[in-house]
Amino acid sequence: MRKHLGLLGVFALIVFACTSRDVAQDSSIASTEPAAALTTRSTSTSLTTATTTGDSLTTIESSTTETTRLTTTSSPTGTAPPLTTAPPTTTTAPPTTTTAPPTTTTAPPTTRNVSIGDKFFAPTSVTISLGETVKWTNGGDKGHTVTSGVVGNPDALWDSGVLIRGASFSRTFTTSGTFQYFCTIHGDKMEGTVIVQG
C-alpha cells in the first residue's frame, strides 16, 4: 500500500511540474506576442483514479486540454476615396456690344446771296454746288427782273418778274452747267452768271 501511495505522489509531482511548465510557457508567450494579438491558453487537468482489487496499480490519467484563441486586429479592408474637389465654375457673360445707328445730318442747302442794285448785280458771277440756291434781293430804288438767257433771247428757265425795292427771288439749281441771266428792264447793263458744279 505504501508503494502505491509513493507512486501516486511521484506521478502527481510530474503532472504538477508539467502544468507549471505550461503556465510558465504561456506567460512567456504572452509577454512576447504583439499587442495586436491576444492568446489565451487554458489548461485543465483531470485525475482519474482507477482502483482495483489486489495488487493492481492505481492509474492516474492526466489529460491536458489546450485551447488557443488568436484574436487579431483586422486592418481596414478599404481605403476611403480621396476627397474630390469640383473645379470652380466660371461663367463669363458674353460682351454686350451696342452699335449706335449712324447719325446722318444733312446740311441744309447753301444759299448764295446776290444783291440787285440800280443797273448791276453783285457779284456778277457766282459759283455753287449742285442743289444749292441763289437768292436775289433788290436793294435799288427801281424795279428789276432776274430772267434767264441773254439780252434779247430769254430761254424761259426762270423769270422773277419785276422786283420792287426790298423784294427777293430764289432759285435752287438741280442741273450742273453755266447759266446766264439779265434784267429785262435795263438790258445789257444788268447781266450775270451762275456756275453750278455737280
Shared-domain flag, residues 51 and 121:
no
- With respect to residue 48, please indicate whether it lies within any of the assigned structural domains: yes
Which of 72, 89, 120 corresponds to the end of one domain?
72
Residue indicated by cell numbers 438741280: 174
* Distance, CA of 171 to CA of 158 (rounded, Å): 8
Shared-domain flag, residues 116 and 55:
no
Q: pLDDT value at position 169? A: 98
Shared-domain flag, residues 130 and 67:
no
- With respect to residue 85, please indicate whether it lies within any of the assigned structural domains: no
Q: Does residue 15 register a pLDDT over 60?
A: yes
Shared-domain flag, residues 56 and 115:
no
- With respect to residue 179, please indicate whether it lies within any of the assigned structural domains: yes
Shared-domain flag, residues 122 and 190:
yes
Which domain, by its residues, includes 17?
2-72
Shared-domain flag, residues 186 and 126:
yes
Residue 1, C-beta contacts closer than 8 angstroms, at least 6 positions apart: none
**How many domains are contained in the chain?**
2
Q: Is the Cβ–Cβ distance between 151 and 145 less than 8 Å?
A: no
- With respect to residue 97, please indicate whether it lies within any of the assigned structural domains: no
CATH number, residue 125: 2.60.40.420
Residue 162, C-beta contacts closer than 8 angstroms, at least 6 positions apart: 143, 144, 145, 185
- With respect to residue 95, please indicate whether it lies within any of the assigned structural domains: no
- With respect to residue 19, please indicate whether it lies within any of the assigned structural domains: yes
Q: pLDDT value at position 188? A: 87
Exposure b/e, 12-43, CB count within 10 A at least 16 = b? eeebeeeeeeeeeebeeeeeeeeeeeeeeeee
Per-chain mean pLDDT for the chain: 72
Q: Does residue 18 register a pLDDT over 70?
A: no
pLDDT above 70 as % of the chain: 49
Cell of 123: 457779284
pTM over 0.75: no
Shared-domain flag, residues 61 and 139:
no
Which of 10, 42, 72 corresponds to the end of one domain?
72
Q: Is the Cβ–Cβ distance between 142 and 101 less than 8 Å?
A: no
Question: pLDDT by residue (tens digit) across 156-169?
Answer: 999 999 999 999 99
Question: What is the SS3 assignment for 19?
Answer: helix
* Distance, CA of 173 to CA of 127 (rounded, Å): 11
Q: Is the Cβ–Cβ distance between 191 and 121 less than 8 Å?
A: yes
Shared-domain flag, residues 135 and 191:
yes
Which of 72, 99, 121 corresponds to the end of one domain?
72
Question: pLDDT by residue (tens digit) across 31-69?
Answer: 444 443 333 343 333 333 333 334 443 333 444 444 444
